[in-house]
Amino acid sequence: MRRQSSLWVLLVLFIVGGLIGNLLGQLLSAYVPILGQAVSIGITPPANANFGIFTFTLGFTLALNVLGMVGLLIGFMLWRR
């Protein structure tokens, strides 16, 4: 049970670290332009399946800038501690 709980903590730390890092990157991009440049990975455009009575759409995009990656790294280091 401890291992499963630990993985959830890692996931939360990754999400929070990435969000805070991306936010700081966007805010500081006015002063240091390279901090605002992001790498996007994902399904673009989203995949659609129309079954007549309902439509299923699957899409995912991950956009990280330099400080977002640093935030992920800090989240991982906090988890290891």
Q: What is the pTM of this model?
A: 0.74
Q: Please give the pLDDT value at position 35.
A: 87
Q: State yes or no: pLDDT of 1 exceeds 80.
A: no
Give dist(CA 34, CA 70) in Å, integer.
14
Distances 39 to 19, 25, 36, 51, 80 between C-alpha atoms, Å: 14, 12, 10, 33, 26
In a domain, 50, yes or no: no
In a domain, 55, yes or no: no
pLDDT by residue (tens digit) across 25-65? 999 999 999 988 988 889 888 899 999 999 999 999 888 89
In a domain, 54, yes or no: no
Q: Please give the pLDDT value at position 4.
A: 66
Q: Which domain holds residue 73?
A: 2-43+60-80
Domain count, the chain: 1
